[in-house]
Amino acid sequence: MDWIGFALLAAILIAIPGQDTVLVLRNAAAAGAAAGVATTAGVCSGLFFHATLSALGVSALLLASASAFATLRWAGAAYVVWLGVQSLLRVRGGSPLEPAPARRDVRARWFVQGLLSNVLNAKTAVFYLALLPQFAVFRETVLRDSLRLAALHAVMSFVWLAGIALLADRARHWLGRPVARRGVDAVAGVALVVFGLRLALAQR
């Protein structure tokens, strides 16, 4: 497998801000590094889901069906817009983002947010279907190779997004001011809504 070529391409895609980056930033600014890292873990876990579907040909079947693809696209768009609206409602209600609780169920919620953001992203499904087969060595090992490449992508994404989460956590002393925290909610909310709308309107 061309590990270097895949890593270079993955690095470019990782560095381009998207809905996952915004979600990690929002959660880390809201509740600290633990929230950002948990969200990051969920995002990276979603990559293995897409790699498996691509290797098994499920993604190809999905893209071949206009109705199935549209369902995935609209489900993903609705979820991202819903996350954005949640942030905007907090701004309007004057309720800033809450501090980080230590309960395991709340950490699981951050993980699930990151996971669903990635799993329901039709663009990720298209990307993996188009990319991973080109780097797989043999047809009989395509699943194994796809999961290995997804693991590399996941490690790179985790380092990048976790780093962003830690930087956001370091800035929480400034973001602790009510005006600044509502500003973060507003910017993140608008960005997530925009990403959701773009996903809904995207073509194959």
pLDDT at 198: 78
pLDDT tens profile 89-103? 877 665 544 544 546
Pairwise CA distance, residues 57 & 174, whole Å: 48
Q: Quick check: 124 and 110 in contact, CB under 8 A?
A: no
pLDDT at 100: 47
Parse the chain into domains and list their residue ranges. 3-8+19-201
φ, ψ for residue 137 (rounded to 5)?
A: -80, -50
Q: Residue ranges of the chain with pLDDT lower than 70?
A: 1-2, 59, 61-64, 66, 92-105, 136-140, 173-180, 202-204
